[in-house]
Amino acid sequence: MFQQIVDVQREIYLAFAGHIKGFAAGGGWASFLAFLPMGIVFGAVHAMTPGHSKSVLATYLAGSSTRAHRALLVSLALSFTHVTMAVLIALLALPLVSHSFVDAGSSPTLEVVSRALLGVIGLWMLASALFRHDHSHAEGEGLLMGVAAGLVPCPLTLFVMTFAMIHQVVVTGLLFAFTMMIGVGLTLSVVALLTVVFRDRIAYLMRTWPRLLGFVSRATGALAGLVLVAVAAVEIANWLATT
């Protein structure tokens, strides 16, 4: 399954490269615009591969009381930030990114900032679970989580933007990155909705034991907070070890 996903990505990327070269050579908009919707497929398939903060998103939503519509907003905020950061790095701060092919798309500073913010959110969730009986969540907490998790730039978007910039057709890279964002958002939205449905289903089954449900809800929130704090601690420790 994973190999099939990689193969689909490669085929779409090679087709994208061909269309960029053709456009740069004066091929016109018609062919490129006809191909552009494939960016949605590209982004959706790419988001199925490891990374993209899917586990962070699911962990947060499992431990929160976020409803489905707000869970979608969190996933969209994550997708928007994830792709936009790659676009901004390509346009404004390409030297921040490693020039080696293996590490292309990584930005250690942004990764550490992202995980540090997630650690703060994790501590807040842990404190809420321990000291608040209703385990309430601040209105903007979910969106902040989405933005924080998305600060790690999308490497494939960076490749797309860099390729378009090399051929001096930046606008095509921006358009393709936008369609990729839609695809990434679709995949992450599915993850968010499935997590909320699963969480609410468990809660429904336990409603006949309200005290147990309250305990499990707080315990899940505390566990989610601990996981986010642990992720932040490991990421920062790794960064300190290499600096």
pLDDT value of residue 111: 66
Higher pLDDT, 126 or 17: 17
**Do the beta carbons of residue 46 and residue 54 sit within 8 Å?**
no
Whether the pLDDT of residue 216 is over 80: the answer is: no
Whether the pLDDT of residue 14 is over 70: the answer is: yes
Up-side HSE of residue 32: CA atoms within 13 Å toward CB?
Answer: 23
pLDDT value of residue 228: 75
| Residue owning tokens 């798309």 | 105
Total Cβ atoms within 10 A of residue 9: 17
pLDDT value of residue 63: 77
Alpha-helix runs per DSSP H in the chain: 2-24, 29-35, 38-46, 54-62, 68-92, 108-131, 141-150, 155-166, 170-205, 210-242
**Do the beta carbons of residue 203 and residue 191 sit within 8 Å?**
no
129-143: pLDDT as tens digits: 666 655 455 557 788
What mean pLDDT comes out for the span 70-76?
Answer: 93
Name the DSSP letter for residue 154: P
**Do the beta carbons of residue 87 and residue 177 sit within 8 Å?**
yes
Confidence band for 154, pLDDT divided at 50, 70 and 90: confident
pLDDT value of residue 131: 67
**Do the beta carbons of residue 159 and residue 42 sit within 8 Å?**
no
pLDDT value of residue 114: 66
The residue extents of the domains of the chain are 2-242
